[in-house]
Structure 1
Amino acid sequence: MAHERSIVIVTPALADANNGNWQTASRWARMLAPRYRTRIVQHWPDGGASERDDAMIALHAVRSLASINTWAGIRGEHGLAVVMTGTDLYGLDGMDPLSKEALSLAQHVVVLQELGKERLPPSARAKARVIFQSATKRPTLTKPHSRLRAVMVGHLRDVKSPETLFDAALQLRAERDIFIDHIGEALDPSLGARARATAKGAPNYRWLGGLPHEEVRRRIQRAHLLVHTSRAEGGAHVVHEAIRSGTPVLASDVEGNIGMLGPDYFGYFHHGSAAQLALMLIACRDELHRTQSGALMKRLREQCHERSPLFDPAREKAAVLKLAADLLGSP
């Protein structure tokens, strides 16, 4: 019967963080709630209700490791799923040893894009599955041809490589019909200072700071392009939100982006190459003005349209419910 079983979702980030981990935890809790008692916590156990939990889904192997270890010490691997994030999979020196410890304790492992499994040790691949995250589909808006507007979304921190966008904006400062909006809080104050300096040196660049999620989605929907410069990603929300809004993506050629957009996607630039990103933005602007014979944006829109069904909420919900059933040993 519904709600007789309890599933706890452990995430290092709660609502005030307004980041990908929280968005995933919140969405999965809503998907599970009609069938199971579900709650979201930062640490487990978290009080009297903990003894009634039948399964745990832990987001972020390293930062949730204490909760994972506690569960495994009491329950063993049964009922334990570990969701691998970008920093779990793609550290500066490869996978964090603590990630491997979490993997060894889990009954099931989840990665959020197609190439994630390839980073796992062989012992973990057999128990791993891909669950693409989802977003509601929004109408593709008609956008002006007189100017190009690009948007980048992500808190300012090293892993997001915002310097690539800063440098590209400065290279494009004389291009008065290319506009770049940058959304995200300065988690690294030095990067906030770089953003302010870029805005002074490049009149086409605006740093908007952190914004509510709904406003972020509207800005993505209104933009011609989403720019995504990250060094490492587990499966970025903003990429599939752009795809589901009919907004094509220019992305760094890192595994987490390729696993979302596909190996043959035309919109990759080399990670860290501001010059290549700037040239792609110019090519897209020229396509709008019909001064270039190429059709880069047209092809990107087509490719994103082809990938869009992967990020449908019904598909994600079915996958999350299947994970829950497997954890609980129910059909």
Structure 2
Amino acid sequence: MKILIVLPPDQPKSGGNITYSNRIKRGLARHGIQILIKPLDKVEPQDYRDADIVHAFNAFRTGRFVLPVLKETGKPMVLTITGTDINEYMTKEETRKETYGVVQYASRIISLTESSRQELLNLVPDAKCKSLVINLGVDLPKPRGKSRADFGLDDNSFIFMLPAGIRPVKNPLSAYQPISRLHKRFPNVRFVVAGPEMDPALTAEFKNKMDAVDWAHYLGEVEHTDMPDLILASDVVLNTSRSEGLSHALLEAMSLGKPVLASKVPGNIDLIKDGQNGFLFANEDEFVDKGSLYIENADLRETIAAAGRQWVQEQYSVEREMETFRHVYEQVLCKECCL
């Protein structure tokens, strides 16, 4: 069986989609399933011809461009749908028709959370038969033993670390003001961001703000092999997204026993039980209040981090993830209707 995974263009080399697709490729190789991974702008016509199934990540940014080729050849599509597809592209007048077309053609539609799947079914009830949730697995490289000094960070700092590309949906500057407030109260607080430059206008504004103060540090894009060490070097890992499917970065942080603080949006809500295995914030004041709790109470950090690690170990198994993908691909080739 040959699968072509098509990612949106301009993928950061350490981004969630790359991590996700490479994990599928590694995990299914032992089952004799060959997977080719390419961003949309690098796919050749022969790649489509060679594939038994095309798996598109993101309906609007990827699937709508793949769709005409698949209709012409009659080849099936598996679609991993995103929160942005559901919350933006399927609701806006100018993008709705194309996004719905991809959803209607897909043989299977994969959501990362049950709440995301239910949002899809509210919009497209007929998709029930072909939609399912596949929980992400966590398959991090082993830490290499790098210290804070290797990242240019001070051992005496309390580090809030945001792993995210610099683009509007990740909303990196939303943490800037609350961390500024925390820094005034706790002078050793630092704001560290690791991720690629993905939006020129936002990146310019972001860099200006980060460069203007001594408590904020932008590391740029960090190699995926170094991310475990950077996570372990941090005190709290952040997610500030406006929209989220399910954050690989949060899963990775929780799997390594780090406490997390995340925006209160679908996807993050599915992963984090507020005050139990992490904290959620809906506004700046909540960020400051919950950030302060983490800073002041080491026992609380340890308790929440341990709960987060246990939750990820129980719910986000790579083995279960791979078995479900294998089953989905086999069903699609057999042209079975329902899961």
TM-score of the pair, normalised by structure 1: 0.84
CA contact under 8 A between 1:9 and 1:29: conserved in structure 2? no
Deviates more, 1:40-49 or 1:302-311: 40-49
The match for 2:151 is none
The match for 1:286 is 296
In the alignment, the residues of structure 1 paired with residue 212 and residue 10 of structure 2 have an alpha-carbon distance, to the nearest angstrom, of: 36
In the alignment, the residues of structure 1 paired with residue 176 and residue 330 of structure 2 have an alpha-carbon distance, to the nearest angstrom, of: 46
In the alignment, the residues of structure 2 paired with residue 178 and residue 116 of structure 1 have an alpha-carbon distance, to the nearest angstrom, of: 35
The match for 1:29 is 25
Please show how residues 238-317 of structure 1 align to structure 2 within 5 Å. Answer: 238-262=249-273, 267-270=279-282, 273-288=283-298, 295=300, 298-317=303-322
Q: 1:49 to 1:186 in 2, by over 3 A?
A: closer
In the alignment, the residues of structure 1 paired with residue 284 and residue 43 of structure 2 have an alpha-carbon distance, to the nearest angstrom, of: 45
Aligned residues: 317
Structure 1 residues 143-164: Cα deviation after superposition (integer angstroms, max 9, x where no partner) = 9997532210111111011121
Which residue identity is paired with 2:81? M
> How many angstroms does 1:204 deviate by?
2.3
> How many angstroms does 1:198 deviate by?
3.2
Structure 1 residues 263-308: Cα deviation after superposition (integer angstroms, max 9, x where no partner) = 77551100xx2332122111111103x7xxxx36523531442233
The match for 2:125 is 122
The match for 2:331 is 326
CA contact under 8 A between 1:157 and 1:188: conserved in structure 2? yes
CA contact under 8 A between 2:254 and 2:260: conserved in structure 1? yes
Q: What percent identity do the matched residue pairs reach?
A: 21
In the alignment, the residues of structure 2 paired with residue 260 and residue 114 of structure 1 have an alpha-carbon distance, to the nearest angstrom, of: 11
In the alignment, the residues of structure 1 paired with residue 36 and residue 332 of structure 2 have an alpha-carbon distance, to the nearest angstrom, of: 16
Which residue identity is paired with 1:269? F
The match for 1:198 is 209
The match for 1:110 is 110
Please state if 1:18 is matched with 2:14: yes
SS of the residue 1:67 aligns to: helix
In the alignment, the residues of structure 1 paired with residue 53 and residue 46 of structure 2 have an alpha-carbon distance, to the nearest angstrom, of: 15
SS of the residue 1:115 aligns to: helix
SS of the residue 1:155 aligns to: coil
In the alignment, the residues of structure 2 paired with residue 93 and residue 163 of structure 1 have an alpha-carbon distance, to the nearest angstrom, of: 27
Deviates more, 1:275-284 or 1:295-304: 295-304
Please state if 1:182 is matched with 2:178: no
The match for 1:47 is 45
Structure 1 residues 203-226: Cα deviation after superposition (integer angstroms, max 9, x where no partner) = 322111111111122211222211
Choose which of 158, 162, 187 in structure 1 pairs with 2:168. Answer: 158
Choose which of 80, 85, 108 in structure 1 pairs with 2:82. Answer: 85
SS of the residue 2:59 aligns to: coil
Which residue identity is paired with 1:134? G
**Higher relative helix content:** 2
SS of the residue 1:283 aligns to: helix
Q: 1:133 to 1:217 in 2, by over 3 A?
A: same
> How many angstroms does 1:13 deviate by?
4.0
Return 5+ residue gaps in structure 1 as ranges: none
Which residue identity is paired with 2:16? G
Structure 1 residues 173-201: Cα deviation after superposition (integer angstroms, max 9, x where no partner) = 32222222111123223333333343345
Return 5+ residue gaps in structure 2 as ranges: 149-153
> How many angstroms does 1:58 deviate by?
1.1
TM-score of the pair, normalised by structure 2: 0.82
